[in-house]
Every structure is written in C-alpha cells, then in structure tokens.
Structure 1
Amino acid sequence: MRNRFDRLAKDIAQEGLTPIGKVVTNAEVVGDAQHADVWYEPDPARASGRERLGLLGRLAATACTIEAYSDTPSADEARACVEKHLALWRSSSARNREAEPPFLWVLSTGRPTAVLDGLRAEPMAGWPAGVYEGPSLLRAAVVVLGELPRVRSTVLIRLMGGGRVLREAIEDFRQLPKDAPERAIALGPLLRFRAEVEQRGPATPEEEEFVMTTEELVEQFIEQGRTQGIAQGAIALYEARFGPMPPRLRSAVEAMRDLPTLRTWLVLVGTGTREEVHDALSAAPPGPSS
C-alpha cells in the first residue's frame, strides 16, 4: 500500500469480502517483488452475501485483483497494476484451468485521465456512472470513486477513497440505519484507522480532517452501547461481525459488571480481530457480582 488511506481501503475490502470468499491482502506476485493490494476468490456457497456490500459486492462476482488509490494513479502505476493482475491471472489459471478468468479493478479517487485514455476505457454498460471498462482481453476496469452517485449502494466502496470522496462517504455512512450491514463491515476499520492516526499524530491536513470527521462516529458507537446496554451491544456487534458468539464468551460478557471493562470490550469487539476479542474475553477475570 502507498499511504495510510490506501491501507484503510484494503482493510475495508478485507472486512467486507472475507465472509463471502478467500481474501489475500498484499498478495505476492510470483516471480516478482511486487504485491497486489487485494486478491479475492469468491465462494459460490456464500454468494448471497454479496448483496449487502452494494457496488463492492458487484465487483466481487468473480475472482479479482483490487488496487485502491486514495488519490489518482499515474499511467506508470496503472501499468504496474495490469502487470501484477496478469501475473496473478496466470497463477490462478495454473491452479484451475476451468475457473472464470479474474478481473482487475483499479479504484481511483480522482479521474485518472491518462489511465482512461491509455486503456481506451469506456463507460461500463449496466454499471453506475464512474465505472469504466478497458479492453476485454485485459479484463480490467477503473472505478472513479469521485464520479459514483452518492447512494447507499456505493457507500462502502467510496469509503475506500480519500479527500472529498472519503469525507462525503463518512457523512453518508453516519446516516445509515443503526442495524445497517455496512456499519458492521466498515466501522471497525474506520475506528482502528482513527486510533492509529491519533496515536502517531496526524501527518497531513487530510488526516486531521479525518479525525474530526469521524468524531461523531466514535460518539455514535459509545451511545449505541449505552442504548442497547453495553454487554448486549458488545454481543450484538460481535455477531454482526463474526457470527454467533461462543457460549463461554457470551457468558463472560453477560457476567461482567465492571463498566470500564465492558466499555473496553465494546471498543475491541468493534475494532479488533476475532482472535484479539477471544483472547481478551477468555483471559479477563470474572466481574464482581452485582
């Protein structure tokens, strides 16, 4: 990845696509020192889960390489994306010659005019504005995030951008219903990224703006926990992200009476990995009885 915001895009893709297929981030290109941002292979048995991802789910209809840019890629960067894509395509075909060929999706926050011209890309039929398809032999497309319509189906993929696009996507994300699946997917990556930026200190005006823009998300997250009851909120959030909570962990959460511990767990469930959550809840001593 090229900067912090590109890493945020990778984390959102991983969070959204892992429940419906195999996801490899920083996928190694055989015979090359380069890595692709995301390599994805769908699981047909879980295809119905794509619907909750909106436009991101449409990208995941077939195996694909995803390269995300929080700015605008140059022609050289796009050429490198194509080279990596073709190498991963060869590797995929060697493993399964009957599989449908993979697709390359280059996500660009701004309009990469040189890239679109170089690919002779045209608006992709049947897709929203902002999606451009290159030559069919390459199986490659460019998604200009700044040109996508501001509708719910594009919220997740717009969160993978930068600048104005990311700011507007966060505004739209805040307006989603509390039980929206997009919240379970993107809230963790957004809060993790915010915590990293705050810990290291914002390095750019864009990072400072991100911290301010996401302040309300933090408040919403805490308020939702108060409204639901922090213990039940942690359980509900866990199950939205990871599936049914194991009985022993559920018992530990329900038995805990220490409010600071419950708040810590709530944040961890929303931002951590499954393994981090399990380790914390398994190691914690039981809360005092009420």
Structure 2
Amino acid sequence: MTRQLHDQLAKEYLEEILTPLGSVTASKDVKSEVQEIDVWFVPTSTSINSELGILGKMAVTSCLFEPYRNAPNEVEIRSCLLKLYSVQSDLLREAKREKRSLSAAESPYLWILTPTCSERILEGFGATAKEGWEKGVYFLPKLLKAAIVAINQLPITEDTLWLRVLGKGRTQTEAISTVVQLSNGDEKWDKLVEMFASWRKNLELNSSVNDEEVKELIMSLSPAYIKQREAWKQEGIEEGRQEGRQEGRQEGRQEGRQEGQVDGQRLMVESLLAVRFGNLDEELSTVVNQMMELSLTERTQLLLNLSNLSRQELLARFKAD
C-alpha cells in the first residue's frame, strides 16, 4: 500500500519538476511481462538545468526513473534493468523500421532512486562511485547504462535537494521543509507545495494512520500542509472581503482572522500529535496547551522534528519547562 502511495507521489513530483525540461511519461507500459515504467523522460535540450542540481544533470539525456519507498532487493533491481532493456529493444526495432541507427542520446539511462542501499547490493551489481558525481550516486558497469542513487547518503546541499525530497524519514522531511522555505521567495515552487499538501490531506482521509509508514509520510509532508493550509485560509479571507464586507467591520474582521489563525494552528498541532502517537489523550492534550504558548518559530521547529521524538521525550521536554 505504502509502495503504491510513494510511487504515485514520486511520479507526480517528477512529472511536475521535469515537464519544463522535456517530455515526461508516467506509468509507461512496456511489452512482454515487464511491468510499467514509473517515469520516462525525454529532454528537449541537452543543456543542464543547474537549478535542479544533480537531478538536472541526470535529465540531460533520455532516461527512466524508478523511485522506491523502501530499498529494493536484487530481484527488484533486475526487474528495473529488464524494463530498461525492453525499452531499448523497442526503440531499436523502431529505428530499424525507419531504416536509421539508434543514437546514444535516444537510448535511455536508468536511475534507480532508493532511500538506502546496502554494500552487498552495490557490490553485487558492480555499482561504484564516479568522479564528478556526489556521494550516494553509484554507477553500474558502463555498458549497462544504469545507476543506483542511495538518497540517504547524498550530502545535504542545494544540488541534492530535489532528490532528497524522494527520500524517507528525516531526509525527506528536511528536504520538503526546504522546498517550502524556497517557495516563500519564489512562486514557481508553489505548485510543488500545494501537491505535497494535497497528498498529506488525502493520506489522512484515505489511509490507516495506524500504519507506521503512512504516519512517517504524513509527518514528512506536514511542513507543506502547514504552509498551504494558511494559503487556503487567506484565499477564503480574500473571497470574503470581495463579497462586500463593510469597511466599518474591518476591526472585527481582523480580530476574527487572528482568532481563526490560532484555532487553525491548534487544530494542526492536535492533528500532528494524534497522527504521530495514535491518539490524543489527557497527557498529550496538556502538551498541546503548552505548545500553543511557544512562539510560532519554536512551535513550527518542534512540529518538524516530531517524527524524531518518542512520546516520553516529548512529555519530558515540557515537564522540564
């Protein structure tokens, strides 16, 4: 279930971020018994999009992206390779029908994106680091045209941000938080934030929050949801203003808006605690009151780190205060 959720989110994310650079096909079927390709990308330009860091570097040639929520085993990696070679065979047959040769640029490269990867897997497939590429990117022997990206090993830099979004746990949470911060000064990332927020909302509505992996994904997406919820609220306020509120009610509107923001923030805190710890009992309800007394910056930072705190650690944090 979680694998399917991650697949869909990863497909939508890569499609959104790569579409300006070329043609993106998600869930592309291939012949025989091979399953569908997660994302097939064909660039419109051979120039590197430096803004996307190493993801932009990957996207200078035709390529397949296979993102995993949990580390793939050797069978799953061989299945990815089989997809790649099936695509290459189809392209070669098409080129022959058109009486032309298949150029190296047309033959896609495979990028397997995994949250972690063991030394055993890397050694077994002969995957090694390559000069000019960051730690965490391991290339299979040259003629195989494939690489494994261990996202948790990537350095925390601007160049790796757009891949770390597809990681897991703290890696993913910190990356999504950074994208949210970027969107504050650059509206072109707003669509990504809105997509993350919508996914979090759908997860709460349509999934079992008792599933640990679903809980983890909800927590990772929460920074975007917190920001987007405020944006949605502001849209509602603006619509209300445009519907003809009288100027004399300006002060009342302002008070109501402030009260609504506090209520919304409290609801968010209660929701995150319930998702993280299963339910909101008397002890956690007391913590909610104490968290609401923190500054917005302190409260937001605490919520972003919530996935790394146990119940006991959270309770001790406020008892100490």
Q: Deviations over 1:116-149 (max 9, x none)?
A: 1122111022011100111111111011000001
Cα distance change, pair 122–178 in 1 and its aligned pair in 2 (3 A) = same
Q: Deviations over 1:253-274 (max 9, x none)?
A: 9xx7499xxxxxxxxxxxxxxx
2-structure distance, mates of 1:258, 1:56: 47
In the alignment, the residues of structure 1 paired with residue 221 and residue 108 of structure 2 have an alpha-carbon distance, to the nearest angstrom, of 35
Write the mapping of 1:104-115 to structure 2, written as runs, cut at 5 A: 104-115=110-121
Equivalent residues in 2 for 1:113-192 (5 A)? 113-176=119-182, 178-180=184-186, 183-184=189-190, 186-192=192-198
| 3-state SS, counterpart of residue 5 of structure 1 | helix
Supply the distance in 2 between the matched residues of 1:14 and 1:162 (Cα, whole angstroms): 19
Q: Which structure 2 segments of 5+ residues have no match?
A: 96-101, 246-321
Q: What SS does the aligned partner of 2:144 have?
A: coil
SS of 2:72's partner is coil
Q: Which structure carries more relative contact order (alpha carbon 8 Å, separation 6+)?
A: 1
How many residue pairs end up in the alignment?
Answer: 234
CA contact (8 A) 1:12 1:185 kept: no
TM-score in terms of structure 2 length: 0.65
**Who wins on radius of gyration, i.e. which is larger?**
2
Cα contact 2:169–2:220 (8 A) shared by 1 = no
Counterpart CA distance in 2 for 1:114 and 1:223 is: 46
Find the aligned partners of 2:244 and 2:121 in 1 and give their Cα distance: 55
Q: Deviating runs (4+, > 6 A) in structure 1?
A: none
| Matched-pair contact (CA < 8 Å) for 2:173–2:219 | no
Other-structure match for 1:98: 103
Q: CA deviation at 1:8?
A: 1.5
Greater shift, 23-32 or 2-11, is seen at 2-11
Aligned CA distance change for structure 1 residues 43 and 257 (closer, same or farther; 3 Å): farther
Contact 1:78 1:115 (8 Å CA) reproduced: no
Match of 2:319 in 1: none
Cα 1:124–1:200, aligned 2, differ >3 Å: closer, same or farther?
Answer: same
Letter in 2 for 1:71: N
User: Over aligned residues, Cα RMSD in angstroms?
Assistant: 2.9
Cα distance, 1:33 vs structure 2: 4.3
How far has the Cα of 1:177 moved from its partner? Answer: 5.1
Distance 1:93 1:106 in 2: 23
- Equivalent residues of 1:70, 1:163 under 8 A apart: no
* 1:34 equivalenced with 2:35 (yes/no): yes
Q: Deviation of residue 170 (structure 1)? A: 2.3
**Equivalent residue letter for 1:87:** S
Q: CA deviation at 1:99?
A: 4.9
Partner of 2:213: 206
State the alpha-carbon separation in 2 of the partners of residues 182 and 148 from structure 1: 25
CA gap of 1:22–1:94, structure 2 versus 1, over 3 A, is farther
Question: Please, which of 222, 226, 233 is the counterpart of residue 219 of structure 1?
Answer: 226
Q: Residue type matched to 2:103 in 1?
A: E
- Identity level (%): 30
Classify 1:42/1:119 alpha carbon distance in 2 versus 1 (closer, same or farther; 3 Å): same
**Would the aligned equivalents of 2:23 and 2:44 in 1 still touch at CA under 8 Å?**
yes
- Residues 215 and 142 from structure 1, CA distance in 2 versus in 1: closer, same or farther, beyond 3 angstroms? closer
CA contact (8 A) 1:9 1:161 kept: no
Q: Residues 62, 221 of structure 1: CA spacing in aligned structure 2 closer, same or farther, 3 A cutoff? A: same
**1:53 maps to amino acid:** L
Indicate whether 1:15 and 2:21 are aligned.
Answer: no
C-alpha change, 1:76 and 1:59, in structure 2 (3 Å) is same
Structure 1 range deviating more: 139-148 or 112-121? 112-121
Distance 1:20 1:102 in 2: 16
Q: CA deviation at 1:196?
A: 1.6
What is residue 294 of structure 2 aligned with on the other side?
Answer: none
How far apart are 1:49 and its partner, in Å? 7.7
Q: Which moved more, 1:166-175 or 1:133-142?
A: 166-175
